Amino acid sequence: MMDDKQDHERLKTELWGLSFKNPVMPASGSFASGREYGEYLDLNCLGAVITKGVAPIPWRGNPAPRVAETYGGMLNSVGLQNSGLEVFKREDLPFLEDYDTRVGVNVVGKSVEEYVEVVKGLRGHAVDFFEVNISCPNVKEGGVAFGVDPDMANLVTEKVKKVADKPVIMKLSPNVTDIVAIGKACEEGGADGLSLINTLMGMKIDIKTGKPLLGNVFGGLSGPAIKPVALRMVYQLYPHVKIPIIGIGGIRTWQDALEFIMAGASGVQVGTANFQNPRVMIEIIEGLDSYLKEENIGSIREITGISHQSVNR
């Protein structure tokens, strides 16, 4: 493995009272807990590791086929399969404790009580922050995602914050008519930050059979195809909240990451691109640092949200 250890002073970032080496981290679900990527990059060099979704009990996930390639990206219908909280604490957390990087645990649930159970179960453990995925279906309310209703998003945030001993970041769904309303509802509920966007809903047809290709019919669209939508939502939300935003969606180059930062993101997550290039995050970190050096910019913080300054309001 190449030596990735370099001091990128310009990229140091402060979020939620925590210091990060840089603003680059993997998106949940694309990186597991980092173990499989260890032969390709040094996890110590990332701003943080965001784990796969963790539920109170094991989730089996959706029926196969679960993944389909599409133009400009991919569809996945994995269904947040995971081994549950106890296995995560026993196997994944000890592995991550060996690394000098921030750890964010992605939390999933099918009810408000399940979100609360995971966060309570991780109190006192080596976790730096929680990322709460409110794109999950609310089983008690007919399967509608928590993140499409401001009142429900506010409620989940409020309940989780009451039991959390670390900062709480709410991960927003793009499958809404007003991302600002959802983001503000989470902020009012006590969220320390927001990450957006999760995947867009999509599907693919098998033209040989005439049937949906994915076993669950619909899946989440990720990859370069969703970047313009994600960038728009980050830009749109930034002026309306006071808490930090983490930008996600189609980031595969340092230029992509820079756009999100200029739109208002204090950090970025890289997802689908990791499947194509396991070292993509290291390349993004290096590219961002070179850009700041060439432009004589002392800190990445100086250009966060800069695109808003040139717009007449």
d(CA 115, CA 257): 30
Judged against a pLDDT cut of 60, whether residue 312 lies above it is answered with no
Give pLDDT, residue 139.
Answer: 64
Rounded distance between C-alpha atoms, residue 48 and residue 169, angstroms: 14
Query: Would you say residue 37 has pLDDT above 60?
Result: yes
Q: Which CATH number fits domain 9-62+80-204+225-306: 3.20.20.70, 3.50.50.60, 3.40.470.10, 3.30.70.2190?
A: 3.20.20.70
10 conformational bin, left if phi > 0, alpha if psi -120 to 50, beta if neither: alpha
- Identity (one letter) of the amino acid at 181? A
Q: With a cut of 60, say whether residue 46 has pLDDT above it.
A: yes
136 catalytic residue (yes or no): yes
User: What's the whole-model pTM score?
Assistant: 0.95
* pLDDT tens-digit readout, 209-268: 999 999 999 999 999 999 999 999 999 999 999 999 999 999 999 999 999 999 999 999
In tens, the pLDDT along 131-161 reads 999 988 766 766 678 999 999 999 999 999 9
Q: Between residues 6 and 36, which one has the greater pLDDT?
A: 36
- How many Cα atoms occupy the beta-carbon half-sphere of 164 within 13 Å? 24
Mean pLDDT of all residues belonging to the chain: 94
Catalytic residue among 54, 55, 103, 136: 136
- State the pLDDT confidence band at 1, using cuts at 50, 70 and 90: very low
